[in-house]
Structure 1
Amino acid sequence: MIKKGFSYIGIYFLHLLSFLPFWFLYALSDLLYYPVYYLIRYRRQVVRKNLVNAFPDKELAEIIQIEKKHYRYLTDLMFEIVKLSSISKAELLRRVKMKDHEQVQTYLKRGESTLSCTGHYGNWEMCMVVAGIEFYADCNVIYKPINNKVFEGWFNRLRSRFGNTLVAMRQTPRQVITTKNETTMFCFASDQSPVRSEVQYTLNFLNQPTAVLMGLEKIAKQTNRPVFYFEFDRVKRGYYDIITMPLCLDPKQTEMHEITDLFFKHLEQTINKQPEYWLWSHNRWKLNH
């Protein structure tokens, strides 16, 4: 009960913080970077191990440079997510632009549902909120529940402020069936790690064997909905482009694992361009040990 009370107090504080202007939040981010990186050393061992394994050809000095850039962005990301608590729709659309999404809109305007996928790269939270505003469909965002249900509820309110529907990962097949007569877009963050007992497929991703989720591919092949990849480009601090790319337009014609392989190929290309913006602090390869 005490823990729950502190959670509510923390959420109230974060909501008040969200009313501060971006320039002030970024000043706080600049200050927070130093204790997070040098004193608290938040998941430093995990980040370093992930970077070293992902880029075996890079010298340690370059790895450390990417690592520091990652932590500088991580503190920005924290404040940008907090800002979602009170940001206006107009301000959000000014900062996040959808690009090359006409093909998706054509499907949706015809009443044909689609699937989209991305990774934990850039500000995926902000970009998913914008996708829900921009597309001509009910946007169902798949999420992985967290242990603290108070903070989970807060996160989901941020994600659904402008109309998104939040769907817990294990409820996805049921939601697909429930909404089969509606025009929908289901949005997957498909780079998460499965639990060991549910591993069905392992591929090579960032120079190491990686157990992956198969939910996106299973639903794509069952429903034959076209699949689009969202590539995030951080234009500058607080500004993003979402480039929409067709991943697979006829899933039933694909071979087993083909859609999953395509997704991770695109994500790896995205990460290699600017690696500091991927979520390296996640212990993504824990099943390898």
Structure 2
Amino acid sequence: MFVAKFFAKVMIKKGFSRLGVGLLYLISLLPYPILFFIADILFVLIYYVIGYRRKVVQQNLANAFPEKSLSERQAIEKKYFRFLADLILETIKLYSISPEETIKRVDFRDHLLQDNEAFKQGKSIIAAVGHYGNWESGCLRMGLVKERKCIIAYKPLSNNIFDKFFFDLRSRFGTLMVPMKNTFRTVVAHRREHTLTVLAGDQTPSRDEVTYFTNFLNQPTAVFLGVEKLAKTTDSLVVFCDVRRVGRGYYTCTFVPLFDNPKETAEYEITNAHVQYLENVIREEPEYWLWSHRRWKFKPEDLN
């Protein structure tokens, strides 16, 4: 979603929406070595020349890691922007990447699920995913899982041209893309089809959608309760989709079971669990999370 918004904003400002979509498609046809060469140039532009959201990143890192020195946070910042440049080009590549290349570059690991009794019973799955690593690659890879219908919730873009481009990108392997406002109805309608539903667990709710704050990266954080509500309504297996970068353009995608019987959990237990899992992942290698996102727009006291 970040890459979609990044290009949509740039192209809308320049008035080149249709031309921009065509350009993105042509870029997607380039081989990976050339894409990463472009990414190296893009890193210099967004980090040194434009200074894209550097203050946002610096503030987010300072709030999340007060125990780290300034030099440590600066090192994370620079690594993040190097990865961000790669992420942008890798995501564009997804528009024309083949199924075979996708399977090669995203090592899909479901061994933890295969030994799970709830999975063996055919329960549907609600998967929480973070904006970590190349989550777009992981979601595209899920469309190649033929055993289950894959549903992914997304926020539509305001620009119709770019919204269609990225809708087509994400759904090209058969994934059912559903606007967030329609997710609950769609998942309930397909609950008997052993579906795999993926929701971003670190999206920022709008002010009027906030009902719960949890502690995330050292600060009170407003979170959506969609994963928890859907899991309890459909009695689905709750997992975390753990996407890790193992090389430039290469990832692993591991499904980690969190709850087999969501209806037996306490209120907010599921939400706190998947948020905490994501935080643990981020703390291991922080440079792969989306630090340029304005995640903490308001605090609990702002809503009183």
**Does TM, normalized by the shorter one, top 0.5?**
yes
- How far the C-alpha of 1:112 sits from its partner, in A, is 2.8
Q: List runs of 5+ in structure 2 lacking aligned partners.
A: 1-10
State the 1:142 CA deviation.
0.7
The 8 Å contact of residues 231 and 243 in structure 1, kept in 2 or not, is answered as: yes
Gaps of 5+ in 1: none
Identity %: 46
Q: In the alignment, which residue of structure 2 is the partner of 1:174? A: 185
Q: Which residue of 2 aligns with 1:87?
A: 97
Q: Which residue is 2:6 aligned to?
A: none
Distance 1:135 1:217, change over 3 A: farther
Report the CA distance shift for 1:230/1:147 in structure 2 as closer, same or farther (over 3 A): same
- 2:128–2:241 Cα contact (<8 Å) kept: yes
Quote how far apart the aligned CAs of 1:268 are: 0.4
> 2-side partners of 1:47 and 1:147: how far apart?
25
Is 1:44 the counterpart of 2:54? The answer is: yes
The two structures have a TM-score, normalised by structure 2, of 0.90
User: What is the TM-score when the length of structure 1 is the normalising length?
Assistant: 0.95
SS in structure 1 of the partner of residue 275 of structure 2: helix
| Contact 2:113/2:256 (<8 A) preserved | no
- C-alpha deviation, 1:255, in angstroms: 0.1
* Secondary structure of residue in 2 paired with 1:284: coil
The residue correspondences of 1:177-256 to structure 2 (distance < 5 A) are: 177-256=188-267
The CA deviation at 1:285 is 0.2
The match for 1:131 among 105, 126, 142 is 142
What are the equivalent positions in structure 2 for 1:21-170 lying under 5 Å apart?
A: 21-101=31-111, 103=113, 111-134=122-145, 136-170=147-181
* Cα deviations by residue, 1:57-111 (Å, 9 ceiling, x for unpaired): 0111111110010000001000001101111110110010111346269766754
**Would you say 1:278 and 2:289 are equivalent positions?**
yes
Contact 1:109–1:136, Cα closer than 8 Å, also in 2: no
Provide closer, same or farther for how the CA distance between residues 173 and 105 of structure 1 changes in structure 2, counting only shifts above 3 A: farther
**Deviates further, 132-141 or 65-74:** 132-141
Matched length:
288
Give the C-alpha shift of residue 114 in structure 1. Answer: 1.2
Look up the equivalent residue of 1:115 and give its one-letter code: I
- Consecutive aligned runs of 4 or more in structure 1 exceeding 6 Å deviation: none
Partners of 1:194 and 1:286 lie apart in 2 by 9
Q: CA offset at residue 146 of structure 1? A: 2.0
Write the distance in 2 (CA, Å) between the matches of 1:226 and 1:96. Answer: 23
Q: Aligned equivalents of 2:211 and 2:132: distance in 1?
A: 24
